[in-house]
């Protein structure tokens, strides 16, 4: 689709405009493709699709099965499925014989790029600079700018925000995130960019107990030579009480179902806030395979009486950090003992997750969004954002609702289901059927068909919690 000039494009009206083309909005774009009478457009500032490029190391895999692609969990007949991607690349037999259920991250990224490049509704090199409610047009006005500076304005009855999340770094490290320390103090999102330099460094400290931290620590261990003498000394620190595996039992995974979302939404705010903290192993743990590979690397180092050049220390948090000569001095506290110790290191990789953020272009609509008392979106069961009554259009969000919908918000498992839910709401009809019940587990007190509604009104908002790396 060719971008029109601002004047020519001013009255072009879409049913839905998506801002951001990550996996979740790409899922919505794929499911909306070919829907009769439904006009959609998806915009992204990047020149092409990319998904966590800093963590696309060889050997890393998704933590969800390949069926959790962009469309299959909502529409397995879609031409945009992962299996059709394999067929298009003449790799069906190779995939079949590999007996993979969890696919490489690099391949998932390539699959998403294959879809994004072929969907006519996806437009890259299109940075949204303004989102306003146009009362005269009774629609949202969306302005986007290309790399050349050309601006385009379109109108939309509905808008869906899928702008992704931003890296989170512990407060003591933030003053060190400057050009002077580039490549030596960084978030894991940038690890691959600086991988070679870190592998040649004397001592690297990795912070964070989740999958990203484990993968970075493992990759650095593998840069040591066969007896562990070459390569960097690897130190892996985490606040959690253990380097724990992610919950992956069949019953446990039912927390990533629409059934659990409905249950979670009805809980009081204080309960939801507590649950998100307590359920960290559902979305912040490490795969058992990765933990096993780390252990095996360390075991190899002990052959013949050797000692691993590595430290694994859970239950420790960084409370202070400063540049110290050619490296860094970290002051840490053991949580259970409440004692301090110091670490000298040459580099720090902070694998400490991501959190939702409010996009700058939304500032012009700030007084029309009904924010909660913590400045977060208030989101209903169909992912609509509460807006001022003056706005007759609808604003949706994806992956910004952990406080209202639970730990499944950043998880790829629910991506296609959520996109189908939004599509049905945006189209005003059932484009794709959404099954009412998916879990064997009964969450909460059983409700009989004649039971009354709960007596206590339940609020729609809860405390924000940084989300982990998408699985």
> What structural domains and CATH numbers belong to the chain?
6-166+355-427 (3.50.50.60), 169-246+298-352 (3.50.50.60)
pLDDT value of residue 228: 58
pLDDT value of residue 209: 94
pLDDT value of residue 446: 85
pLDDT value of residue 2: 38
Q: What is the pLDDT along the chain (471 residues), one digit of tens a residue?
A: 334 444 445 568 999 999 999 999 999 999 999 999 999 999 999 999 999 999 999 989 999 999 999 999 999 999 999 999 999 999 999 999 999 999 999 999 999 999 999 999 999 999 999 999 999 999 999 999 999 999 999 999 999 999 999 999 999 999 999 999 999 999 999 999 999 999 999 999 999 999 999 999 999 999 998 665 789 999 999 999 999 999 999 999 999 999 999 999 999 999 999 999 999 999 899 999 999 999 999 999 999 999 999 999 999 999 999 999 889 999 999 989 999 999 999 999 999 999 988 899 999 898 999 999 999 999 999 999 999 999 999 999 999 999 999 999 999 999 999 999 999 999 999 999 988 789 999 999 987 655 444 433 333 333 333 444 555
pLDDT value of residue 4: 40
Instruction: Retrieve residue 342's tokens.
Output: 């110091």
């Amino acid at each position: 689709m060719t971008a029109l000039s601002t004047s020519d494009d001013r009255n072009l009206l879409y049913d839905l405009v998506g801002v951001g083309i990550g996996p979740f909005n790409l899922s919505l774009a794929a499911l909306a493709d070919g829907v009769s009478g439904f006009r959609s457009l998806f915009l992204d500032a990047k020149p092409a699709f990319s998904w966590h490029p800093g963590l696309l190391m060889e050997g890393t895999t998704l933590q969800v099965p390949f069926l959790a692609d962009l469309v299959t969990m909502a529409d397995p007949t879609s031409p945009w499925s992962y299996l059709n991607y394999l067929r298009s690349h003449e790799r069906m037999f190779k995939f079949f014989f590999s007996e993979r259920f969890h696919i490489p991250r690099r391949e998932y990224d390539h699959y998403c790029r294959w879809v994004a490049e072929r969907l006519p509704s996806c437009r890259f090199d299109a940075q949204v600079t303004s989102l306003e409610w146009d009362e005269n047009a009774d629609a949202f006005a969306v302005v986007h700018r290309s790399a050349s500076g050309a601006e385009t304005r379109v109108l939309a009855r509905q808008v869906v925000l899928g702008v992704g999340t931003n890296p989170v770094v512990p407060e003591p490290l933030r003053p060190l995130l400057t050009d002077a320390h580039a490549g030596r103090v960084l978030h894991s999102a940038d690890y691959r960019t600086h991988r070679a330099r870190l592998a040649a460094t004397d001592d690297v400290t990795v912070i964070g107990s989740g999958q990203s931290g484990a993968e970075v620590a493992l990759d650095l261990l593998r840069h040591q030579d066969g007896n562990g003498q070459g390569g960097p000394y690897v130190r892996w620190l985490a606040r959690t009480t253990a380097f724990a595996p992610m919950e992956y039992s069949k019953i446990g995974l039912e927390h990533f179902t629409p059934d659990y979302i409905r249950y979670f939404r009805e809980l009081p705010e204080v309960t939801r806030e507590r649950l998100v903290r307590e359920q960290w192993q559902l979305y912040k743990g490490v795969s058992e395979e990765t933990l096993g590979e780390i252990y095996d690397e360390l075991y190899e180092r002990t052959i013949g009486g050797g000692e691993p050049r590595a430290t694994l220390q859970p239950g420790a948090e960084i409370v202070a950090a400063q540049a110290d000569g050619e490296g860094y001095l970290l002051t840490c506290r053991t949580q259970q003992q409440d004692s301090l110790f110091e670490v000298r290191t040459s580099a720090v990789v902070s694998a400490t997750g991501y959190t939702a953020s409010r996009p700058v272009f939304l500032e012009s609509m700030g007084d029309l969004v009904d924010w909660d008392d913590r400045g977060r979106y208030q989101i209903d069961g169909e992912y609509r954002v509460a807006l001022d009554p003056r706005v007759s259009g609808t604003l949706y969000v994806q992956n910004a609702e952990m406080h209202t919908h639970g730990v499944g918000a950043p998880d790829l498992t629910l991506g296609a289901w959520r996109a189908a839910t939004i599509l049905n709401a945006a189209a005003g009809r059932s484009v794709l059927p959404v099954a009412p019940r998916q879990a064997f587990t009964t969450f909460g007190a059983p409700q009989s068909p004649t039971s009354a509604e709960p007596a206590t009104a339940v609020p729609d908002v809860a405390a924000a919690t940084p989300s982990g790396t998408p699985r």
